[in-house]
A and B are shown apart, each in its own frame.
Chain A
């Protein structure tokens, strides 16, 4: 299930302590920070790991994102989108620094029932491996979008907010990214 962002204006789910009430001036209450960790840590880590392909770096980026949220998150209304955006920027920054960054691109199911044989599953596994490599060659924001929408299962509106796109752009970039993968696979075979 997709978790809902905690909004400042909503009644807190966890009752604030007396300390929280007195600290409400400019510091993020600890209970709100912890709730964000419990609700969004996996999504943030997975995005970082999918972009960086390195568990250690993904862990660092996740910690940076949450530390930043703790320090600057008091006025953040949508913690999930905010954290994903910060983690993505940090991951792309690391890729850029290490020369692994893919530049921005110039603009240039039907359901099948499962009674499949092991060969089919093997082929799917192979295809997934091939796709992982090809996803890394996609330009931004296609790559982040594909990871968030297709792999992580985030909805289009959330992806749009994280990437600063509108929903039409999300659709266009998504189809463009998938087409590119398909054509590359066709070219390889």
Chain B
């Protein structure tokens, strides 16, 4: 196996790391040189990028309507589940029933509608927080942008004035 083969093999094995940007500096330079020299490797690199992009862009499955409601109702319904499991045992072995009843966890706490309401409010509040973070980010970017523009304009005006005064 020649040095060139080895180098090509190395480059092929690093394509995924190159594509997701995790290749460290020196290796990245080596890869750039290999890509510049080999059109086939370049095509494979483009394919690696395309694979990652397509995976990230694939739409995640939408949760069915009503699933969250059913999940939230689990605490209220779980006592029935335990009862359903305990009945066959009771029919077969009385002692096992006693054990099952004894081992059964305490019934879940009564659902407090205020808790559910607060949890929903919390989720809403988190959404508002995310939204306001985005808005603030935009505001800061705009403010910085206009501040920089003003500074450049002022500098330009001052330099122009100075040039006029010195006749340069």
B54 interface residue per 8 A CB criterion: yes
A186 within 8 A of B: yes
CA distance A60 to B34 in the complex (A): 50
Asked, given contacts A20-B109, A70-B75, A182-B15, whether A131 binds B51 with beta carbons under 8 Å apart, the answer is yes
Instruction: Note all chain B residues with C-beta closer than 8 A to A5.
Output: none
How many of B's residues come within 8 Å of A, CB to CB?
50
B81 CB to closest chain A CB (Å) equals: 7
The residue from A14, A25, A35, A59 contacting B67, defined by CB atoms under 8 A apart: A59
Task: Pick from B111, B120, B130: contact of A30, CB below 8 A.
Answer: B111
Segment among A38-46, A90-98, A100-108 that sits at the interface with chain B: A38-46
B-contacting residues, A1-59, CB 8 Å: 1, 13-15, 17, 19-20, 22-23, 25-27, 29-31, 33-35, 37-39, 41-42, 45-46, 49-50, 55, 58-59
Closest to A43 in B: B60
Interface range on chain A: under 10, 10 to 19, 20 to 34, or 35 or more? 35 or more
Q: Please state if A34 and B72 are interface contacts (CB–CB under 8 Å).
A: yes
A20: which B residues are within 8 A, CB to CB?
A: 109
Asked whether, in the complex, the Cβ of A41 is within 8 Å of the Cβ of B109, the reply is no
Asked whether B4 is an interface residue with its Cβ less than 8 Å from the other chain, the reply is no
Asked if residues B58 and A128 are in contact (CB atoms below 8 Å), the reply is yes
Q: Which residues of chain B (55-80) have a CB below 8 Å from chain A?
A: 55-58, 60-61, 63-64, 67-68, 70-72, 74-75, 78
Contact present for A109 and B109 (CB under 8 Å): no
Measured between C-beta atoms, what is the minimum distance from B115 to chain A in Å? 4
Find chain B residues with CB under 8 A from A17 CB: 109, 112, 114-115
Given contacts A34-B115, A38-B123, A128-B58, contact A45 B53 (CB under 8 A): no
Interface residues of A in 56-109 (CB under 8 A from B): 58-59, 62-63, 66-67, 70-71, 109
Q: Hey, what's the 0/1 contact readout for A161-179 against B, CB within 8 Å counting as 1?
A: 0000000000100110011
Number of A-B contacts (CB under 8 A): 159
**Extra contacts besides A30-B112, A33-B74, A182-B15 (5): CB < 8 Å:** A29-B109, A34-B72, A46-B61, A63-B67, A67-B78
Which A residues are closer than 8 A to B by beta carbons?
Answer: 1, 13-15, 17, 19-20, 22-23, 25-27, 29-31, 33-35, 37-39, 41-42, 45-46, 49-50, 55, 58-59, 62-63, 66-67, 70-71, 109-110, 112, 124, 127-128, 131-132, 135, 146, 150-153, 171, 174-175, 178-179, 181-182, 185-186
25 residue pairs of the A-B complex, CB under 8 angstroms, read A13-B122, A20-B109, A22-B109, A27-B109, A31-B115, A34-B115, A34-B119, A38-B119, A49-B61, A55-B64, A58-B61, A59-B64, A109-B20, A109-B53, A124-B50, A124-B54, A135-B55, A151-B58, A174-B16, A175-B17, A178-B20, A178-B48, A182-B51, A185-B51, A186-B44
